[in-house]
Structure 1
Amino acid sequence: MRVLVVEDDAVIADHITACLGTLGYRPERVASGEDALAAIERQRFSGMVLDRLLPGMSGIEVLARLRAERRLPPVVMLSALGTVKDRIEGLAAGADDYLAKPFDMDELVARLNAVTRRAAPTPPSDTGLAVGRLKLDPSSHSVLFLDRTIELNRKQFSLLAHLMRCADRLVTRGMLLESVWGYAFTPTTNIVESNMSRLRARLEELGCDPIDTLRGSGYVLRSERCR
């Protein structure tokens, strides 16, 4: 997933882009509002991390311009201005979420995933869900890869369906707990890890190993391994 990072503080920008890069994102960094507009003119981004207090054109002005031109990607706005009034202004200008500095990188990633997930079109069902040659059949709870087919149990099927919908994007443990088990909290058990281990073993029976574990962050299903 390509993400535009708009931040004039070099230390913060380096930290964000480095962390996003290790998590499988493709971050592009710019340091001004004008450069952000130019980047979006030439490239489509799945999300944007936007500092509010930029030299020259402010983050609020960037949002207004992109919204007027209907080119506004999902945005998490960052700012040292963290009052309720400041947050409301940022959200009203077009930001999908607002995070006050200093911030925790794990929280930024979670919020970025949330806003991009909400912006993505939701398929009406799992019918026809496929990534490369990896295909799901909801009628039989089976998965097909090349010329082989195996059946999955309900949880394994739901896990794989979620990962396939978010192919090449980070899926956190919390996201899986909420979508597959319906938990709005994080239990102390290793329920995700144990089910993911069984799912991997089943996929290996097909000769397919598309899931990466990003320790402390979550999972990514790599589309290039499904060809």
Structure 2
Amino acid sequence: MSRTPNTSQSAALDADSPDAFCSTRQAATRLGVSVGTVQQMVEQGVLSGWKTAGGHRRISLRSLETLLRSRVGATSSSDAHTLSVLIVEDDPFEQAFYRETLAEMKLPLKLEIVGNGFDGLLVVGRQRPDVLISDLMLPGMDGFLMIRALRADPDLSYLDIVVVSGLSNEEIAERGGLPEDVTVFSKPIPFRELHGYLLAKRIQLGRRSAR
């Protein structure tokens, strides 16, 4: 959204007004997600937002209320979009942690978990998931090689890739880095951020299928 409203207006304006806005932190509190997740939602077009001349991000209250209403409707809808998620993680404890915690989120997910990059490539080729969540330090083919192989295939450009790793940014860079469109989170597994990310992706796909 490119317009730049008068930032002196109150964030408490009626949400039905096209000029009403709130801060990213206020939006994050309303949605129960992190500030970073709200920023991702703006970048993906799930929320409407803009930056002030001073660099502060503002979120349209109208788009926020629309998103909140769609979350309620999507939760109760029997035909809501089921998000296909593949997790590549070799640690059995973390595999179980993913299964249990994602189940508690009560999002309609089709979840598969594999333990290495080779199996990850096979599942992506066979099932075409919507989102791939991967560790980097994996046996056999590690996450770096798997992700580079996936990004080298133009037919898989649709795939959203999220890395959850114990490596620092410097360590990732020393190993050749990752494609710019890969989202990177640090361990321990940031389930709050992942919840917001998956929610935004599901809403985005639901809008596409409704067109």
**Corresponding position of 2:72:** none
2:82 is the counterpart of 1:18: no
Write the mapping of 1:72-87 to structure 2, written as runs, cut at 5 A.
72=157, 73-84=159-170, 86=172
Residues 1-227 of structure 1 correspond to what in structure 2 (within 5 A)? Answer: 1-22=83-104, 23=106, 24-70=108-154, 71-72=156-157, 73-84=159-170, 86=172, 92-93=178-179, 96-114=182-200, 116=201, 120=205
TM-score (norm 1): 0.47
Q: 1:101 to 1:55 in 2, by over 3 A?
A: same
Is 1:79–1:101's contact at 8 Å kept on the other side of the alignment?
Answer: yes
Instruction: Extract structure 1 runs of 4+ deviating beyond 6 A.
Output: 87-91
Aligned residue for 1:55, secondary structure, equals coil
- Stretch moving more, 12-21 or 81-90: 81-90
Match in the other structure for 1:183: none
The alignment's C-alpha RMSD in Å is 3.1
Specify every segment of 5 or more residues in structure 2 that has no aligned partner in the other structure, as ranges.
Answer: 1-82
Q: Which amino acid aligns with 1:66?
A: L
Q: Any idea what the Cα deviations from partners look like across 1:158-185, whole Å, max 9, x if unmatched?
A: xxxxxxx9xxxxxxxxxxxxxxxxxxxx
Structure 1 CA distance for aligned equivalents of residues 207 and 176 of structure 2: 26
Aligned residues: 125
Residue 85 of structure 1 and its aligned partner are, at CA, apart by 5.7
Q: Normalising by structure 2, report the TM-score.
A: 0.50
Which AA in structure 2 matches 1:33? G
Deviations for 1:99-134, whole angstroms, at most 9, x for unmatched residues?
1111331222223444x36975966xxxxx95xxxx
What amino acid maps onto 1:100 in structure 2?
Answer: S
Compare the two structures and name the one with the higher strand fraction: 1
Question: Matched residue of 2:167: which SS?
Answer: coil
Report the Cα offset of residue 75 of structure 1.
1.1
1:119 and 1:68 map into 2 onto residues whose CA distance is: 24
Percent identical pairs in the alignment equals: 30
**Aligned partners of 2:193 and 2:140: how far apart in 1?**
28
> Could you say if the C-alpha distance between residues 52 and 65 of structure 1 is closer, same or farther in structure 2, counting changes exceeding 3 Å?
same
Question: Using a 3 Å threshold, how does the CA distance of structure 1 residues 121 and 107 change in structure 2: closer, same or farther?
Answer: closer
User: Does structure 1 retain, via aligned residues, the 8 Å contact 2:95–2:113?
Assistant: yes
